[in-house]
Amino acid sequence: MRREQGSSAVLAAMVGFFALTVSAFAFGLSDEDYDYLKTQHIERSDAPILDLSPKERARVHNLINDPRTADDQVVRNKNVKDALAIFLEHQLWEKAHPGELWDAPKK
Is 14 a domain residue?
no
pLDDT of residue 99: 87
Average pLDDT, the chain: 83
SS3 77: helix
Query: Domain residues for 80?
Result: 29-96
pLDDT of residue 42: 94
Give the separation between CA 49 and CA 59, rounded to whole angstroms.
Answer: 12
Tens of pLDDT, residue by residue over 45-61, are: 998 999 999 999 999 99
Is 105 a domain residue?
no
pLDDT of residue 100: 83
Q: Specify the number of domains making up the chain.
A: 1
Full-model pTM: 0.69
- Name 93's Cβ contacts closer than 8 Å, sequence gap at least 6: 102
Is 75 a domain residue?
yes
CA distances from 50 to 2, 12, 29, 65, 67 (A): 52, 37, 11, 20, 26
pLDDT of residue 15: 53
